[in-house]
Chain A
Amino acid sequence: MIVEVTDLRREFVVRRRAGRLRRTRDVVAAVDGVTFGIAPGECVGYIGANGAGKSTTIKMLTGILVPTSGTVRVCGLEPVRDRTTLARRIGVVFGQRSQLWWDLPLRDSFRLLGAIHRLPTSAWEPRLAECVQLLEMEPFLDTPVRQLSLGQRMRGEVTAALLHSPELLVLDEPTIGLDLLSKERLRAFLVRERAERGTTVLLTTHDLPDIERLCDRILVVDHGRVAFDGDLPGLVARVGAERVLVVDLAEPGPPLIDVPGTTLRAVEADGLRQHLAFRKEDTTAAAVVAAVSARVELRDLAVHEPAIEDVVRRLYLE
């Protein structure tokens, strides 16, 4: 196991004003008895709503935060005690916090990180060249980081985390705020990274396509506890995650109650807009569209993917 977490718990003290002078002191468990292991080469999606304890867990895995109780082992090390040794063996990307030097050209950040990791130029330069080519970073390699777009900066962050060829890559919200093309480019890069090097990946995300493309396993956390541990089809089967096709008709029509593989969820404006829910296993969006347009004239349509928050909420409604 490259990551071993046993009965992990982390409490925070929350002080609140109660009245003019009195303050109350509440102990809140952000992570409340989490146990899991990650085998080398796995890609695990760590998902849950905001405040479910994802970032707190990641901070404990990377040595930024001490657990209140329980044990953490990453690469056989104790993260807080062996912080600097561990830092040379893992790569971490926090979507919201930069590892790069905002006032230096991107290229200089990589040179500095190479020095910080005590790597000879011969060790990190080929790696950088590979990332630059795959992530198409050449055009902005000499641009100061503060002038990069979010998508460009995120490609830089991922490269920065991989420069020292870590065994474990931890990504906290790597695709947050990125446009579709940037997200897809990053996913394709990570898929290749795993295939070529067998890097173990742990990522948190709110983006279901991230999980579909990248993860062989999902850990759902809720209220500081593991609510589900398994693969995506298993999760979808358990909670019945549905995609929804919203169709706008050219003129008001009858409710589309008998389209194969779908359930009519809602009808708006006398049938001008209708919501059809379906499961990935039963049919495809294309088949549903074909079946609908055979009956009525379509003006517009949209497909809504199940949101992770939805999936997690359903898991808890069970």
Chain B
Amino acid sequence: MADATTAQAYNALVRSRVAAQASYRASFAIELGSQVLLVLIEFVEVYVVFHQVDALGGFDFAEVAVMYGLSAVGFGLADMVVGHVDRLPFYVRTGTFDAFLLRPLSALGQLVTSDFSLRRLGRIGSGVVVLVIALAGADVDWTPARALLVVVTPLAGGVIFGAVFVATCTIGFHVVEGMEFANAFTYGGNYLSSFPFNIFGTFIRRFFTFVVPAAFVAYLPTLALLGRSDPAGLPGWLSWSAVPAALIAAAAAGWIWRLGLRHYVGAGS
């Protein structure tokens, strides 16, 4: 089904969403600004921590700022493209989701293209600024592989967070009020991923590496950039594995989505 006309259909859907946002210029500007502010406030939190200590888990301020920047850009990308999938429970309740099922397109594709939050560009933009300044201050021995890694990591991070968004939104197929639970994984994962993972306890570290692969968003790639090994003992090749981790996460999210949809079609509303 992934032919040219299908792509055109999704393209038309996304463009209509962008056009709808552009018609509310004032509110768009305010939301864009608040996203920039949000990232700066979050970043101040990291700064405050380093006002008290010189290093966190063996990483200095610039190195943690690299993790923060990678995580902010990755999360911002995911939030812009698929973040609104958390509206699924609302769509199920109002019957909009049934309207999706009556159209000749994938239901997940329609859910993802039901919005395109351009205001998240604020988060992405300020994340990029933080990342560039932090990389300049961090002690990175640049090689072509590391340069490529810096470009690819936010994209892989976007895919990973996108997968977490999709997988957790399917809770809306099973229970009516479950989004707070889902937020623990998406926003919680974003929060964790901007810190060095070796400061967390074993359970949290393993869970957010192998179940929700948040460690691949920023912490592990930063290790690779700095040429360091994981103080907690993860093998070095994992530091270069953000892309495969993202692909596995996306496949798993697709499977969880199909499971949820099958439940919805099976249970009715």
CB nearest neighbor in B for A98 = B99
- With known contacts A56-B268, A65-B268, A115-B8, A84–B102 Cβ distance under 8 A: no
- Residues facing A in B7-49 (CB within 8 A) are 8-9, 11-13, 16, 19-20
Mark contacts of A247-273 with chain B using CB atoms, 8 A cut-off: 1 yes-contact digit, 0 otherwise: 000000000000000000000000000
- Residues facing B in A79-105 (CB within 8 A) are 80, 83-85, 87-88, 92, 94, 96-99, 101, 103-104
Instruction: Give the CA-CA distance A251 to B1 in the complex, in Å.
Output: 75
Query: Are B16 and A104 in contact, CB atoms less than 8 angstroms apart?
Result: yes
Query: Are B8 and A59 in contact, CB atoms less than 8 angstroms apart?
Result: no
With contacts defined as CB atoms under 8 Å apart, how many contacts are there between chain A and chain B in the complex?
A: 78
Kindly state whether residue A25 has any CB partner on chain B within 8 Å: no
10 smallest beta-carbon distances between A and B, as pairs: A97-B95, A115-B12, A118-B5, A87-B104, A84-B104, A88-B104, A115-B9, A103-B20, A116-B9, A92-B102
- Residues facing A in B255-269 (CB within 8 A) are 265-268
Query: Are A87 and B102 in contact, CB atoms less than 8 angstroms apart?
Result: yes
Interface size on A, residues (CB 8 A): 33
Q: Is the interface of B mostly helix, strand, loop or mixed?
A: helix
Q: Is the interface of A mostly helix, strand, loop or mixed?
A: mixed
Instruction: Give the CA-CA distance A92 to B100 in the complex, in Å.
Output: 12
Query: Are A111 and B12 in contact, CB atoms less than 8 angstroms apart?
Result: yes
Instruction: Give the CA-CA distance A10 to B103 in the complex, in Å.
Output: 23
Please tell me which one of the listed residues A56, A108, A117 contacts residue B16 in the complex, with CB atoms under 8 A apart: A108
Cβ–Cβ < 8 Å partners of A113 in chain B:
103
Kindly state whether residue A191 has any CB partner on chain B within 8 Å: no
Kindly state whether residue B60 has any CB partner on chain A within 8 Å: no
Cβ–Cβ < 8 Å partners of B265 in chain A:
63-66, 80
Kindly state whether residue A302 has any CB partner on chain B within 8 Å: no
Nearest CB of B to A202, in Å: 14
- With known contacts A96-B95, A97-B96, A116-B9, A63–B101 Cβ distance under 8 A: yes
Please tell me which one of the listed residues B16, B20, B266 contacts residue A66 in the complex, with CB atoms under 8 A apart: B266
CB nearest neighbor in B for A84 = B104
Kindly state whether residue A290 has any CB partner on chain B within 8 Å: no
- With known contacts A59-B268, A112-B16, A64–B98 Cβ distance under 8 A: yes
Interface residues of B (CB under 8 A from A): 1, 5-6, 8-9, 11-13, 16, 19-20, 94-96, 98-99, 101-106, 265-268
Cβ–Cβ < 8 Å partners of A59 in chain B:
98, 268
Please tell me which one of the listed residues A56, A94, A96, A117 contacts residue B104 in the complex, with CB atoms under 8 A apart: A117
Kindly state whether residue A62 has any CB partner on chain B within 8 Å: yes
Interface residues of A (CB under 8 A from B): 10, 12-13, 56, 59, 62-66, 80, 83-85, 87-88, 92, 94, 96-99, 101, 103-104, 108, 111-113, 115-118
Instruction: Give the CA-CA distance A88 to B103 in the complex, in Å.
Output: 7
Please tell me which one of the listed residues B98, B105, B106, B268 contacts residue A97 in the complex, with CB atoms under 8 A apart: B98
Instruction: Give the CA-CA distance A92 to B102 in the complex, in Å.
Output: 7
Known contacts A97-B99, A118-B5; 15 further A-B pairs (Cβ under 8 A) = A59-B268, A62-B101, A66-B265, A87-B102, A94-B98, A94-B99, A99-B102, A101-B16, A108-B16, A115-B8, A115-B11, A116-B105, A117-B104, A118-B6, A118-B9
